[in-house]
Amino acid sequence: MGKYVVVSISEMQLSDNRQDTIITYSLGSCIALVIYDPVKKQGGMIHLMLPDSSIEKDKSKIVPCKFVDTGVPLLFRTLFKMGSHRNNIVVKVAGGSSVMDSTKYFNIGERNYAAIRKMLWRNNIMISSEDVGGSKSRTVKLFLESGKVVISNSQEEYEI
């Protein structure tokens, strides 16, 4: 039986049950990274809050999925452990909004997106599609059967 697998803030979820749908609700400036292996029909999603774990002084308290620098490698490693090969993985990114007319200085959404791009670029991983920025809230779904990633909010719903 398929189910909704919910990803809370600062968490990741993976599944190899092709009937599952992985979902995260209401991304603001947070960013969701979705990775999917169409060969094995398995994948995962992480709901990241901030770019850099170095702000956490007590290293033992670091929640890895909260930060781009610690969360992204963990998500990939977990999918590798489930048997996926890096060449097969499709990567999509969504979120990273900003409050209207907020200054660059506080633009956490943009910083999150920049951190993800930099990390993927360094590791020669391409983003196949994305829906980032703006001032909207996003709910993101990954359908394991098809690999489709669907974004929705109160006004619209579309695939990326």
Partner 1 sequence: MIKMSDIIADIEFLPPFSKVAQKALEIIRQPDFTMKELSELIIYDPALTANILKVANSALYARTQVVSDLQTAISFLGAKEMSSIILLSAANKYFEQHLEGYEVYHGEIWEHSLSVAVNSQELKYLEPEIDDSTLFTAALLHDVGKLILSKYVLEKLDEINELIRTEGVNFITAERKIVGFSHTVVGAAVLKKWNFSKTICEVAKYYKNPERVNNPYVNIVAMADFVSIMIGKSSQKDGLAYSGCAPLFTRYKISSRQLDVIITRCADRTKELIENLNL
Under the criterion CB under 8 A, does residue 56 sit at the interface with partner 1?
yes
Element spanning 81, H or E: helix 68-81
Under the criterion CB under 8 A, does residue 22 sit at the interface with partner 1?
no
Query: Which of these, 100, 139, 155, 130, lies nearest to 9 by C-alpha position?
Result: 139
* Strands 129-132 vs 90-95: parallel, antiparallel or unpaired: parallel
Shortest Cβ 5–partner 1 spacing (Å): 17
Under the criterion CB under 8 A, does residue 88 sit at the interface with partner 1?
no
Give the one residue of 18, 40, 117, 136 binding partner 1; rule: CB under 8 A.
136
- Alpha carbons within 13 angstroms on the beta-carbon side of residue 126 total 5
Under the criterion CB under 8 A, does residue 135 sit at the interface with partner 1?
yes
Q: Which of 5, 30, 48, 49 is catalytic?
A: 30
Element spanning 8, H or E: none
Nearer Cβ to partner 1, position 72 or 79?
Answer: 72
Q: Residues with catalytic annotation?
A: 30
